[in-house]
Structure 1
Amino acid sequence: MNCDKFLELMEEYIMEELDEVANRMMEKHLSECEKCRAEYRETKEIIGNLRGIKESAVIKEDVLNMNKKNIVKKAGSLKNKRPFMRFVSGAAAVVFLGMFLLTASIVAFPSFASTYLPDVPVVKQLKDVQNEYNAIKQQNEILKKENEEIKQENEELKMRIKEIGGVSIPEYQTSEGINEEDNQRIQEMVIEFIRAIYRGDIEAAKKISTEEFKKELAQNAKHYLMINRGEILFTHITNVAKEGDSYMVFVRLNDGGDADISDYQWNFEFVKRGNDFLISFAGKDA
């Protein structure tokens, strides 16, 4: 199933009106396509809101209990004007229209009913809901586009390329940070630590660590060493954030040769001892 077909059937899928085979195809595509998942979530939320509007709407009892005579009269007046009604007998029209008023889809019903019963109050009510649905969807599209533009502008403002430890690395501003001199010192220690564990030099890593973390490195050296993992490619690093007495920074990198895709994230915490910064924690996330 392609995206166009998925979007064509999406509202019926949300309303649980598809057969089992079509449902399975929709579910498979939904699991594979991020773009359609986003559209599905947005549409499902809107339809859910509309259902709430429908359930909360007060439909006058005299409309729902419209007698057969009035309905037949309405159907009869349309009999010669609407091709569709030529195939519906007077008695069948009563049953069909009555059921349609009570059970038709809130999304599909207004467009059909407004053609054949434009003056019925309940139809007008459902048409208003349909119009509101369309307005909300259009507004959501506008807001989504504006948010994407703002996000892109923010990303451009937050990122800069800088030289750290002899390599050019994109730095992202994720916090107000600390002064530039200390920020640079800590980032260079991060690069130094990672290079040390990739070449198997646990002693070099211990030299820039606190006494407590030195013990951790000594006891779990195999956990930290990344020997023979390949050439290190740093994809980006954050500026250093300070919380209490701790200084935090993370760096993303890969060792698979693709500079655009990061394999790992290393999270670091530092403490300051006199004029020196020391690593108190380093942990790797996928």
Structure 2
Amino acid sequence: MTDEKSWTAFTVEREGAVAQVTLTGPGKGNAMGPDFWSELPQIFAELDADPEVRAVVLAGSGKNFSYGLDLPAMSGDFGAVLADKAQAGPRTEFHDLIKRMQSGVNAVADCRKPVVAAIQGWCIGGGVDLVSAADIRYASADAKFSIREVKVAIVADMGSLARLPAIIGDGHLRELALTGKDIDAARAEKIGLVNDVFADADAALAAARETAREIAANPPLVVQGVKNVLDHSRSAKVDDSLRYVAAWNAAFLPSEDLTEAITAVFQKRPPEFKGS
């Protein structure tokens, strides 16, 4: 594979009709900071428009797929709404920020070229949002998943709550989203979060590439048609859920508990939530 373009939070490579998008940080564990959220929609818009690309592999570099939202790097974006809770202006700006961030994950889900994710190590919070937007998910045996936003006083708003009901079912989603618990690759496969589990990260990535090549060998317009038809029945529900959670978080997410969660991250200690 050869580099197609230089990005800060990703590498994008192409081999034949298959593109590979790899998370590279710069935050620890491929955490999702400002560069991630600005580059993701651009990358997938370009892949969607590229007639030479017929399928996409989505991967993470290093030992982990992604630690999720980079709270320290993004704390400045939370600052205004937390500092001025009662004002409409900061809440409106925060609502706009959520919508912009959602557009990145939406670009993955809406890409007409099927996306196959290869997941190793930790896949936390925003990482789960991201892979839930893929069409197919493979995991290494060491993969671990967590919808952990509840642990940091956030209602997950990038797509997990919207897309996972159709993937793992309502009961499993409620268990994961309400507890913030970790699950291993075997449990993820059992509940349908991933299609298959492989011995290690290399094997999972190889399987993702092979599946992408199989997809790319099929008639491209028919493949896009299959994806479009499959997405049609749930797209309105997903869009409605994303709009609702953006409005909910703009109204209710600013709280002393969220301030405490961010402070605890910086101070590397457990948070003490008080429901205020």
Settle same-fold status: TM greater than 0.5: no
TM range (shorter): under 0.3
